[in-house]
């Protein structure tokens, strides 16, 4: 009887969380993202993929930079619960946030890509990582370039020797003489 009460309570809470993510109130959405570590483990893969992810991604398009940045950071927690289709959608969003006018958003996108790469399938890794990190190495914001170097290092086991020699080293080598690094 006690377990049934707990399960019903948890189901009601999870249902409420889904409804709250659908809200357009920025303060509510920001609070959800900030408190995500407290409840992400209680959200199923199916629930995240089918209900929550679409609403969370709207934060990547928000006009307020703090909302976009919080949404990017939250993807580290959401990534283990995303399917291949949702991960592809996220990569399309990240391609845009990597060009954001805010340097911190570009930098955090690169950091997040490096951290969630383990949850990508091999085809997505091959298609996304080298171009994304190479773009970061050309960022005018020095921490953005440092994030690109760190992301390449964090994902070094992903690349074939041919990719390292022909695609990665040519974009890394100019940073050897970068006066700001």
pLDDT score of 12: 57
User: DSSP letter at 24?
Assistant: -
Q: Are residues 72 and 135 in the same domain?
A: no
Q: What is the per-residue pLDDT across 38-49, written as a single tens digit (0 to 9) for each? A: 888 888 888 888
Q: Is 29 in contact with 21 (CB distance < 8 Å)?
A: yes
Picking from 2, 57, 12, 13, the residue whose alpha carbon sits closest to that of residue 39 is 13
Rounded distance between C-alpha atoms, residue 148 and residue 26, angstroms: 30
How many other CB atoms are found less than 10 A from the CB of residue 39? 14
Q: Are residues 71 and 110 in the same domain?
A: no
Which residue range(s) make up the domain with 52? Answer: 1-78
Q: Are residues 47 and 106 in the same domain?
A: no
Q: Choose one of 44, 78, 112: the last residue of a domain.
A: 78
Whether residue 14 lies inside any domain: the answer is: yes
Q: Are residues 68 and 110 in the same domain?
A: no
Picking from 110, 124, 28, 102, the residue whose alpha carbon sits closest to that of residue 76 is 110
Q: How many domains does the chain have?
A: 2
Q: Are residues 50 and 117 in the same domain?
A: no
pLDDT-derived band at 128, boundaries 50, 70, 90: very high
């Amino acid at each position: 009887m006690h377990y049934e009460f707990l399960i019903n309570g948890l189901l009601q809470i999870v249902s409420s969380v889904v409804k709250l993510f659908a809200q357009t109130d920025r303060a509510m959405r920001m609070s959800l993202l900030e408190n995500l570590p407290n409840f992400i483990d209680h959200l199923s893969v199916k629930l995240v993929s089918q209900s929550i992810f679409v609403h969370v991604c709207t934060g990547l398009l928000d006009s307020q930079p703090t909302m976009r940045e919080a949404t990017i950071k939250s993807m580290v927690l959401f990534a283990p619960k995303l399917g291949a289709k949702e991960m592809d959608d996220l990569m399309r969003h990240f391609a845009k946030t990597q060009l954001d006018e805010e340097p911190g958003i570009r930098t955090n996108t690169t950091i997040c890509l490096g951290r969630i790469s383990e949850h990508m399938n091999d085809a997505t890794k091959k298609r996304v990582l080298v171009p994304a990190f190479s773009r970061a190495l050309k960022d005018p914001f020095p921490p953005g370039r440092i994030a690109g170097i760190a992301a390449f290092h964090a994902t070094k086991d992903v690349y074939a020797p041919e990719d390292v020699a022909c695609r990665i080293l040519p974009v890394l080598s100019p940073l050897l003489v970068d006066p700001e690094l």
